[in-house]
């Protein structure tokens, strides 16, 4: 026994434990900023605003002013809200704007000025703050001004991440000057000062979202857009609104799951997959077993087929939310799974649910001392977005337009094949996979979770949640366990490092085409259990859990 305990201690990482409050974010400075707000009596929304702005400085690959995202909040009294501050297509956007004369996809949906949707982050954070914040806005923006002005010490992770995007950012003068240090690469322990960003943030601290959407920032952004052939105008900025939506909810083994509605495809995916699993007995084979991986992978494959056809901006397209979660429909999906054989994706098409209704990213999870919780995922899409840092403003722009089906039926940068419903149209929101989620048990807060990772967010979040609920893992073990991903097309089961060769052989025997992958999402989450908060940051990133 002693030997076994010892062996476990060698590989297991304990979650960070605290009694009152916790912030888990993908970058340590930002987590500390959030913790400070909580210690000073700020609530979870206050901390989310401060962390959101801090990440715009300290995690430039994903934290942002030039992107958008989703904020899910659950208050201690059980009320919830979901704020959709995702980018929208500019008024001048056209369905075929990313096709060349022969109808082929160009790289314009991913690189350069034309790839950007209208940024929503500043409006979204302000909406959350104006409704629920308790500390003055300027006080929450101030730490990020300081980080930008005084600079941060470059970590190994930041240095490596910037190096990885050097060829993208090298194409744009301002990105090259700031993030590529004029060509002299930023090494670990160098300093990254962002003066223009500090000035932009200082103006936002003073003038709020109005400054960003109608003030000097808006004027400069629109001017630079025009100069470089981008589409976003002053009117696009002025008209931008964050949208409050009702979260979607479902149950899994006695837990209530509160999660992201369309235009996210994440919440529906999480709930449909949980529905397919519940009662199947898949978990009896054990965590990481070939039989359990197989069953879940088949559920993933089927959901992503549905996603390709039935999910899009609900303002433009009827998303069959109820139909996709209907117990009869879900049970049909479950029954179509052969526990011994992979169904080739070519044999799977999106289902026909009834009952139509109208209807590089980062995540942080926060719980405050009152028990309010925020799950916030926001993004500029690819790492360092479209590569463009706006001159005079100092922030990177998103390439979120690539989340649309720029050419329906053809894969986007995440390999997602998507249909007509998600084609480009003015003012439309591109479909997302972001899945900020809050789980309760017996009416009490139980888990706050979410992740970046493109199309793999949905499967990553689902697996971590299942590791806790089905396999009894603590928050850190649930995150550290190796993960896998299937998204229908391409027809391959992608495995992280850490599965045994025997397991892989058994999966191949069932007919899976195996592929290896570095990471299935980067999950940042909090579990509330037995009077303790367990904060866990994902070793696939370089974040921090900080509590008191």
Asked whether position 474 contacts ligand DON by CB under 6 A, the answer is no
Assess 360 for contact with ligand DON (CB under 6 A): yes
Interacting residue with ligand DON among 361, 386, 459, 476 (CB under 6 A): 361
List, by residue number, the catalytic residues: 361
CB of 297 to ligand DON, least distance (A): 20
Given the complex with ligand DON, which of 28 and 453 has the nearer CB atom? 453
Cα gap 254→444, rounded to integer Å: 12
Q: Which secondary-structure segment (H or E) carries 545? A: strand 544-547
| Nearest CA among 521, 473, 517 for reference residue 497 | 517
Contact criterion met (CB below 8 Å) for 507 and 530: no
Contact assessment for residue 70 and residue 378, using Cβ atoms and an 8 Å cutoff = yes
CB of 524 to ligand DON, least distance (A): 12
Minimum CB separation from ligand DON for residue 416, in Å? Answer: 9
Among the listed ranges 169-177, 187-195, 420-428, 452-460, the one in contact with ligand DON (CB under 6 A) is 452-460
Tokens at 163, concatenated: 């190096």
By beta-carbon proximity to ligand DON, the closer residue of 116 and 292 is 116
Q: Provide the 10 A C-beta neighbour count for residue 457.
A: 33
- Alpha-carbon span 490 to 497, nearest angstrom: 20
- Parallel, antiparallel or unpaired: strands 493-495 and 514-516: parallel
Residue with Cβ nearer ligand DON (121 or 199): 121
- Between 434 and 507, CB nearer to ligand DON: 434
Q: Indicate which single residue of 452, 535, 541, 547 sits in contact with ligand DON (rule: CB under 6 A).
A: 452
The minimum distance between CB 265 and ligand DON, in angstroms, equals 8
Please answer whether residues 85 and 69 qualify as being in contact, where contact means their C-beta atoms are separated by less than 8 angstroms.
yes
- Residue 308 touching ligand DON (CB under 6 A): no
What token pair was written down for 298?
């088949």
Q: Cα 446 vs. chain centroid, distance in angstroms? A: 20
How many residues touch ligand DON (CB under 6 A)?
A: 13
Sheet holding 248-252, edge to edge: 16-18, 532-536, 525-529, 444-449, 437-441, 255-259, 248-252
Minimum CB separation from ligand DON for residue 37, in Å?
A: 25
Closest approach, Cβ 62 to ligand DON, in A, equals 6
CA–CA separation, 381 vs 116, rounded Å? Answer: 10
CA–CA distance, 204 with 125 (Å, rounded to integer): 11
Q: Say whether residue 453 binds ligand DON (CB under 6 A).
A: yes
Binding mask 372-411 for ligand DON (x = CB under 6 A): -------x-x------------------x--x--------
Count how many residues are written for the chain: 548
Cβ proximity to ligand DON, 262 vs 453, nearer residue:
453
Nearer CB in complex with ligand DON: 61/534: 61
Closest separation between CB of residue 82 and ligand DON, Å?
Answer: 15
Min. distance of Cβ 236 from ligand DON in angstroms? 19
User: 372 CB contacts (<8 Å, ≥6 apart)?
Assistant: 43, 44, 45, 73, 74, 75, 76
Nearer CB in complex with ligand DON: 162/342: 162
Cβ pair 101, 95 in contact under 8 A: no
Q: Looking at beta carbons, which residue is closest to ligand DON?
A: 361
The residue (of 314 and 547) whose beta carbon lies closer to ligand DON is: 314
Q: 134: which 2 tokens? A: 């308790």
- List binders of ligand DON among 416-445 (CB under 6 A): 432-434
Rounded CA-CA distance 288/283 in Å is 10
Instruction: List CB contacts of 271: < 8 A, sequence separation 6 or more.
Output: 248, 250, 252, 257, 259, 325
Task: Find the binding residues for ligand DON in span 221-250 (CB under 6 A).
Answer: none
Contacts of 136 (CB under 8 A, 6+ apart): none
Please give the residue ranges that form the binding site for ligand DON (CB under 6 A).
Answer: 360-361, 379, 381, 400, 403, 432-434, 452-454, 457
């Amino acid at each position: 026994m002693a030997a076994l305990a010892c062996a476990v201690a060698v590989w297991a990482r304990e979650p960070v434990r605290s009694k009152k409050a916790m912030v888990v974010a993908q970058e340590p400075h930002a987590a500390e900023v959030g913790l400070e707000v909580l210690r000073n009596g700020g609530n979870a929304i206050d901390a989310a605003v401060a962390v959101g702005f801090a990440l715009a400085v300290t995690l430039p690959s994903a934290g942002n002013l030039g992107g958008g995202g989703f904020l899910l909040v659950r208050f201690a009294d059980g009320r919830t809200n979901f704020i959709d501050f995702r980018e929208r297509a500019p008024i001048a956007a056209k369905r075929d704007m990313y096709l060349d004369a022969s109808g082929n996809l160009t790289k314009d949906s991913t690189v350069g000025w034309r790839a950007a949707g209208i940024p929503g982050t500043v409006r979204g954070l302000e909406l959350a703050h104006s409704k629920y914040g308790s500390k003055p806005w300027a006080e929450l923006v101030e730490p990020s001004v300081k980080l930008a002005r005084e600079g941060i010490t470059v970590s190994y992770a930041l240095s490596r991440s910037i190096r990885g995007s050097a060829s993208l950012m090298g194409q744009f003068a301002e990105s090259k000057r700031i993030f590529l240090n004029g060509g002299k690469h930023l090494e670990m322990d160098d300093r990254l000062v962002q003066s223009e960003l500090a000035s932009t943030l200082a103006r936002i601290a003073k003038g709020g979202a109005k400054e960003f959407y109608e003030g000097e920032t808006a004027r400069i952004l629109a001017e630079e857009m025009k100069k470089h052939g981008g589409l976003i105008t002053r009117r696009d900025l002025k008209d931008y609104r964050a949208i409050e939506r009702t979260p979607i909810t479902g149950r899994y083994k006695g837990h209530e799951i509160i999660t992201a509605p369309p235009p996210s495809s994440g919440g529906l995916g999480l709930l449909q997959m949980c529905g397919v699993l519940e009662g199947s007995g898949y978990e009896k084979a054990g965590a990481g077993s070939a039989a359990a991986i197989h069953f879940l992978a088949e559920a993933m494959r089927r959901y992503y087929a549905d996603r390709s056809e039935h999910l899009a901006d609900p303002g433009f397209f009827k998303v069959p939310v109820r139909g996709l979660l209907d117990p009869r429909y879900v049970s049909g999906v479950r029954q179509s799974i052969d526990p011994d054989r992979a169904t080739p994706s070519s044999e799977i098409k999106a289902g026909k649910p009834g009952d139509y209704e109208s209807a590089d990213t980062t995540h942080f999870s926060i719980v405050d001392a009152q028990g309010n919780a925020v799950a916030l995922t926001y993004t500029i899409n690819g790492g360092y977005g479209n590569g463009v840092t706006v001159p005079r403003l100092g922030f990177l722009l998103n390439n979120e337009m690539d989340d649309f089906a720029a050419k329906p039926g053809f894969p986007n940068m995440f390999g997602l094949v998507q249909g007509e419903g998600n084609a480009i149209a003015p003012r439309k929101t591109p479909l997302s996979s972001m899945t900020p989620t809050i789980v309760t048990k017996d009416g009490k807060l139980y888990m706050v979770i979410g992740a970046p990772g493109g199309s793999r967010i949905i499967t990553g979040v689902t697996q971590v949640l299942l590791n806790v609920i089905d396999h009894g893992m603590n928050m850190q073990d649930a995150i550290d366990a190796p993960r896998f991903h299937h998204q229908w097309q391409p027809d391959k089961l992608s495995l992280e490092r850490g599965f045994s060769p025997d397991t892989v052989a058994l999966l191949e025997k069932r007919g899976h085409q195996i592929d290896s992958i570095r990471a299935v999402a980067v999950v940042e989450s909090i579990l509330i259990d037995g009077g303790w908060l367990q904060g866990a940051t994902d070793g696939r990133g370089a974040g921090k859990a900080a509590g008191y």
